[in-house]
Amino acid sequence: MGGAPEGIDASGRLLDLDAHAILDAIPGVVVVIAADGEVIWVNESMAELTGYSSADLVGTNMVDHLDLEWNPRTLESISYALDTPGMRLPTMLRFFTKHGEPIVMEATANNQIDDPQICGLVAHLRPSDERHLLDGILESFASGDELATTISRLHDVARAETLQAESAVFLLFPGAEGRSVLASSAEVEALSSLAGASAPWLAAAASGLPVVHADLSDLEPAVQAAASACGFSACWSYPICRTGTGDVDAVLVMWRQVEGLPEPTAAMLVERLAKLCALVLERVEHSRELQRAADHDALTGLANRTRFFSAVDDHIARGRDPLGVIYLDLDGFKAINDHWGHAHGDSVLATVADRLRASVRPEDTVARLGGDEFAVACPGAGPDELIRLADRLLAVVRAPITVDGEVLRVGVSIGLASCEAGSRPGDVLVAAADAALLEAKATAKGTWQLSSTVT
């Protein structure tokens, strides 16, 4: 009782341990490189990581196993380490395995070439794919890549050594490039369509907390069967919360082939991925808001002048269908502004905008060009269709508008113009509609006039 364990003396020092056995047990590769770059010794971890045995590598040049183009400073880093005694800062290398597969490694070198017992550069290599892949998410984020591109980098991290999972990001806000699920594979995307209201990712979204299924027994039978058929045995769902709030914008789901709860390192990595994803989604939302502000009218939410002319030009450039333009100017609006003030005037403009938007076809672009002028780009519309739309717009704009209990009325005069596919430049078509509008206001306000110059 009370004696020291075998191999350790009373003071706790190790006795008679095999140095080579310790080196072979080190997590990561230890390699000794001569001054000319020749490999003179490696530990057993090299075989496990790369497939190369000691006999395969000893006598070869270390540079021959590296991808020098992946990191253009690889050769410079190795030369510096070989020329400079002592410990060097870590560098990133890409090493080719025996089967030709690339592995990103972090290399820390200690130059002991002058030590007669070592006579070489001692380098410790450890896999760094996940760090490299995480950097890829940040690089994609900084480059402003499309959301799907950046999330694909996240999927790469999920597949790597720590998580070994297929993944999906379930988006809870609309309009994310037309997709609600960004999955690492078609199979994972299909799983989302099978789940009902009890789906774990929906539970995570509702609670704002991770929902972890160490096995699939609690999932809906259809989801359980489909997930098992894909080889999955566990499902982890982590909410992606907007920075500084508890609002959940999305859920990150990990489908794993191995049963079990997240180990501490795995949990930390998933949480980090969720935070990175939150930043990515916030950037996308911010970019969308900036874009909307750039091409929409702030008061009415309609397209602005720039967006309207872009829609006209884009349609004409495609040159497939006719294009019609409706140009509108309110009658009696200045009197409302003068008598009731600009707040009432703004309410009238917003109401008119809503009525125009609700009265046109889904494919039409309604814009506020400025002041009380509006326009509509109508793809595929010839003169007859434009006239039907104009009659409808005359009626809806004339209807009474109530603002703060006051019943207000405005009229509208309309100019119409249309052209066959690609037959006129966009500015010519719009100018013709504007001229028709002026003619309508000059002859009888509250009517429409069809241009005869470009139809």
Hey, what amino acid is at 58?
V
Q: Give the CA diameter of the chain.
A: 115
Q: pLDDT (tens digit, 9 = 90+) per residue, 106-128?
A: 899 999 999 998 999 999 998 87
**What is the model's pLDDT at position 17?**
63
**What is the model's pLDDT at position 3?**
53
The partner residues of 253 in beta bridges, in order of sequence, read 168, 237
| Contact call for residues 167 and 155 (beta carbons, < 8 A) | yes
Q: pLDDT (tens digit, 9 = 90+) per residue, 379-413?
A: 999 899 999 999 999 999 999 999 999 899 999 99
Cβ-Cβ contacts under 8 Å for 272 (sequence gap 6 or more) = 134
| Contact call for residues 258 and 234 (beta carbons, < 8 A) | yes
DSSP category for residue 173: S
What span, in angstroms and rounded, lies between the C-alpha atoms of 333 and 143? Answer: 47
What is the distance in angstroms between the CA of the first residue and the CA of the last residue of the chain?
Answer: 107
The angle subtended at Cα 95 by Cα 94 and Cα 99, nearest 5°, is: 135
What span, in angstroms and rounded, lies between the C-alpha atoms of 124 and 377? Answer: 66
Global confidence as pTM: 0.60
What span, in angstroms and rounded, lies between the C-alpha atoms of 366 and 68? Answer: 56
Closest CA to 147 of 296, 287, 293: 287
Hey, what amino acid is at 446?
G
What span, in angstroms and rounded, lies between the C-alpha atoms of 28 and 90? Answer: 14
**What is the model's pLDDT at position 350?**
95
| Phi–psi pair at 94, nearest 5 degrees | -115, 120
Helix axes 264-295, 147-159, angle to 10 degrees: 180
Task: Encode the chain (455 residues) as per-residue pLDDT tens digits.
Answer: 455 455 555 555 555 567 777 777 788 899 999 999 999 999 988 998 899 999 999 999 999 999 998 888 888 888 899 999 998 888 888 999 999 988 888 899 999 999 998 999 999 998 877 777 888 888 888 888 888 899 999 998 998 888 999 999 998 875 444 568 999 999 999 988 887 778 899 899 999 999 999 999 988 888 899 999 999 999 999 999 987 777 898 999 999 999 999 998 899 999 999 999 998 888 877 777 777 778 889 899 999 999 999 999 988 888 778 899 999 999 999 999 888 999 999 999 999 999 999 999 999 999 999 999 999 999 999 899 999 999 999 999 999 999 999 899 999 999 999 988 766 788 889 999 999 999 999 988 889 999 976 55
- Residue 67, classed as helix, strand or coil, is coil
**What is the model's pLDDT at position 187?**
92
**What is the model's pLDDT at position 15?**
52
Length of the chain: 455
Q: Which regions of 257-343 does DSSP assign to beta strands (E)? A: 323-331
Residue 403 token pair: 């603002």
Place of tokens 């490299």: 132
Report the C-alpha dihedral over residues 91, 92, 98, 102, rounded to 10 degrees: -170
User: How many other C-beta atoms can be found within 10 angstroms of the C-beta atom of residue 33?
Assistant: 24
Taking CA atoms, 164 is separated from 125, 159, 167, 238, 378, in Å, by 21, 4, 10, 16, 51
**Strand 448-450 vs strand 411-419: parallel, antiparallel, or unpaired?**
parallel
User: How many other C-beta atoms can be found within 10 angstroms of the C-beta atom of residue 110?
Assistant: 17
| Phi–psi pair at 25, nearest 5 degrees | -90, -5
Q: pLDDT (tens digit, 9 = 90+) per residue, 302-360?
A: 999 999 999 999 888 887 788 999 999 999 999 998 889 999 999 999 999 999 999 99
